[in-house]
Every structure is written in structure tokens, then in C-alpha cells.
Amino acid sequence: MSSIRQYIDIYRDNAKALDDNSSPVLNALRPKAFEALDGKELPRRGDEGYEKTSLEDMFAPDFGLNIFRLDIPVDIADTFKCDVPRVSTLMAYVINDKFVKSAALTDRLPEGVIFGSLARESAVHPQLAGQYYGQLASLHDVPTALNTLLVQDGVVLYVPRGVKLEKPLQLVNIFSSPTPLMAVRRVLIILEDDAKAQMLVCDHTQDGERGYMSSQVVEIFLGRNASLDLYDMEESSPLTSRCSQLYARQEEGSRLLVNGTTLACGTTRNDYHISLEGAGASSMLTGMAIASGHQHVDNDSCVNHRTHDCESRQKFKYILDDEATGAFEGGITVFPGAERTSAYQSNKNILASAAAKMHTKPQLLIYCDDVKCSHGATTGQLDQNALFYMRQRGISEKMARTMLMQAFMADVIDTVTIDGLDDRLRHLVEKRLHGQSSFCSDCALSK
């Protein structure tokens, strides 16, 4: 039996409860998603676009869903003081798939800005939410359709025309449940013309003993000259699966930076669909993954240059140790009429053990002349000459390896735009490479 059945059955049996505990805007798309899923199955390993990752297997366990929106107690204050030192942010939490509001947050947001529960805010502002919700997230993508079918809440960020948020927003996603759970999360980010925001999202698992599944769909709308920096860091557990689809549409002159960092996970699949639709738009898609044990990280990108004079950069780096596996499939499509496109992509990987495996596949489709487009991919070991040079100077092999791996990630960290976050990431990468995990508990300890 294919694993999608259990979710279809949950929907059939609980359609009313799902609706009753969500908002009309979200409910409106459920029937369409249901229709789209008719006869569909989740992609398996080896299917096109999923050469190394089986969504079928990721969704197969018998996860529970919190359809009735029961309160699952979690002691945030005690466990997840995951603020980033020297980085001042406006913070909010998502416990499983439920947005937790703090009073202070609302007071400190500029007027007109919405940052809150998607279910709640889309009920209050149905016209605004309805105008954007589901417009980018294609129901042809099976995991996206499944998310749309079952989603009840998530986060919305709306920044009106011309408003520039000074402080970065921070969203802490926490998995916490007494039983194996699937959180169906949805994020809707709308920046109107000339608006500006920075957002830091981090994924945490409170209890490493239980299996969790995160189904996440992010939709990003950037108006003319809008600017968004989005950092998405995962530090979960070996029993956590993450299936994330991000869709972004960029109007004229807008700029987008997305950084996806995987420091600890079970099985992770991130899809990035970026559509450059207005002239002069630019996007920078960066990612780094450090995986060990049996962790698996798969990043897939699809950057579409739909009009002229846009720029895109992709830079993904992996360090794989033990029996960890990684995959990167990076796409650039330059459509007819997208003259003077500049698009580059790079994927560099280090295999730190004999058993680690990396699969990388760049894909460039160019249907237009007068474009600058290139890609590069390398997979190798640490530089043995550098390692010996460092050891000759008295640096232990272990430390030398760590320093070289850190150095390898340096240029990705250098793209970080939030002050202090770069130092924090450097520190986290260093700790991770030293074999220490869970930066949440570290944060709690550091308090």
C-alpha cells in the first residue's frame, strides 16, 4: 500500500474537523488538493527529480496529526532559549504546527505589519490571504498538494508597501509530542513594493526519542524592489524527517536571499522553486549541510529566469561523514525573452569518510541568447597536503580536519547579512564539526 493512502483516509474521515479547526482561506483549497491527489503517489527513490530520496518512505510511518488542535504542553522558556547572542530579533514560536504569539512581539511590529498565525490572520484578513495563499504552491507537486490538503495553521508575514523592518524576525519551530507526530506547516510571506524584511527560522526537535515528520510549504511574494533575507536552519534529530517546498515569485528589482542550513537531521528534502518574473530581480540561494551517522540531506533547486536582466546565484556546500548521504539537483531555466540573464550555480562537497556518498546533478536549460550561465560541481576529500602542513606545525589531525572543514564553509557563511548571525553560524559549525550537537540545549545552558 502506498503511504499516501493513510493521509487521504485521514482527510476523508476528518474533513469537517480539519475545516472547523482552521480558516476558510485554508479550507477553500482542500477540495482542489484532494482532486489533484487522485490516483497520485508520493515519489519514490529513483523517480525523476527524486533520485536519492524517497518521500514514500519518509511519509510511510504512522504519524499522528493534531487535527483537533489539542494543546501539547511544551516548556519553551526552559528548554528553548534559542536566541542568538548579539543578534537582536523579534521572536515567535511554532510548536509543532501551532503559532505561539507573544504580546511583546505585536507591540514592537511597525504598523500594518502582520506576523502571526496563518489560520488566525487569514480569518481576520481573508481578502489579503486569499489573494496570495496557494498561488505559487503548485498542486501538481504531490507533497505540496498533501500539505494543502491537511494544513491547518502556520505563519504569515505581511509587510506593506515601503515598510522596512529594522529588526530581523525569528521563528523557532519546535517539535514536541508524546507520540510520533506529523506537523503540517505553512508559511506565507508577502512583501509589497519596496518592503524589506529579514527572517531567521530554526527547526528543533525537543525529544530525540520519537519520530517526527515536518511537511512544510513556504510561499514568498516579493513586490517591486522588495528585499527579503530568509535563513532556514535545521537542527533536528535522526528520527526527524523534513519535507520542505519553497516557492518564491520576484517582481521587478526585488532581491531574495535564501540560506538553507542543515546541521542535524534524519532525512531532509528541501525544494526551492524561484521564479524571477520582473526585470532586474536578483536571488541568491545558498545552502550548507553537515551530515554524519545515517543522515540524509537532499536539496533541489529550480531557478526560473522568466524575464530579462535578472541575476541568480546558487551556492551549496556539503560535508558528509560516516555513512551520511547527500544529494543536490540544481536547475536553472532561462526562458525565451530572458536576455542578459546572469545565472551561476556551484555545488562543492567534501566526503570525510570512505562510506559517505554524494550525488550531484546540475541541470541548465537555456532557451535564449545573450545569457551568462554556468555551473560547477566538485566532490572530494580534504586536502591531504594542507592536513600534513598543519600537523607539521603541531596542530592535531582532528583539529586540522575541523579547521579545514570550517574553512570550506567560510564562503557560505560570508554571505550572511544579519549582524552577529555569521559569528553564531561559525560557532555552530565549529561545534557541529567537533561532534557536539543540539545548539538548543547549548543556548539553554549558556543562559
Partner 1 sequence: MDNKILLDVKNLHASIDGKEILKGINLQVREGEVHAIMGPNGSGKSTLSMVLAGAPGYSVTEGSATFHGKELLELSPEDRSHEGLFLSFQYPVEIPGVSMVNFMRAAVNEKRKYFNEAPLSASDFLKLMRQKRAVVELDNKLASRSVNEGFSGGEKKRNEIFQMAVLEPSLSILDETDSGLDIDALRIVAGGVNKLKNEKNATIVITHYQRLLDYIKPDFVHVLYKGRIVMTGGPELALELEEKGYDWIKESND
* Residue in 12, 16, 140, 393 binding partner 1, rule: CB under 8 A: 393
CA torsion, points 56, 61, 65, 71, in degrees to nearest 10?
-140
Contact 212, 101 (CB under 8 A): no
Nearer to partner 1, 104 or 386 (CB): 386
Query: Residue 170: what residue type?
Result: Q
For residues 47 and 101, give the distance between their C-alpha atoms in angstroms, rounded to a whole number. Answer: 41
- Compute the least distance from the CB of residue 261 to partner 1, in Å: 17
- CA nearest to 156, candidates 131, 181, 183: 131
The enclosing H or E element of 311 equals strand 311-320
Burial class of residue 385, CB neighbours in 10 A (0-12, 13-18, 19+): exposed
Start-end of H helices in 126-263: 126-132, 142-150
For residues 160 and 223, give the distance between their C-alpha atoms in angstroms, rounded to a whole number. Answer: 10
* Residue in 256, 352, 404, 421 binding partner 1, rule: CB under 8 A: 404
Nearer to partner 1, 80 or 408 (CB): 408
* Residue in 131, 135, 378, 396 binding partner 1, rule: CB under 8 A: 396
Nearer to partner 1, 383 or 442 (CB): 383
- Compute the least distance from the CB of residue 410 to partner 1, in Å: 4
Nearer to partner 1, 127 or 384 (CB): 384
Nearer to partner 1, 60 or 395 (CB): 395
422 scored as a contact of partner 1 (CB under 8 A): no
Q: What is the side-by-side order of every strand in the sheet holding 357-366?
A: 114-117, 153-159, 181-191, 212-222, 240-250, 267-276, 296-305, 325-334, 357-366
* Residue in 306, 408, 425, 439 binding partner 1, rule: CB under 8 A: 408
* Residue in 9, 35, 370, 397 binding partner 1, rule: CB under 8 A: 397
Q: Which residues contact 405 (CB under 8 A, 6 or more apart)?
A: 290, 319, 350, 352, 382, 433
Using CB under 8 A, which residues numbered 373 to 392 contact partner 1? Answer: 383-386, 388-392
114 scored as a contact of partner 1 (CB under 8 A): no
The strand ranges marked E within 123-178 are: 153-159, 169-175
The enclosing H or E element of 425 equals helix 421-433
Nearer to partner 1, 57 or 383 (CB): 383
Residues that contact partner 1, how many (by CB under 8 A): 22
Nearer to partner 1, 124 or 386 (CB): 386
* Residue in 407, 419, 436, 446 binding partner 1, rule: CB under 8 A: 407
399 scored as a contact of partner 1 (CB under 8 A): yes
Contact positions toward partner 1, by CB under 8 A? 383-386, 388-397, 399, 403-404, 406-408, 410-411
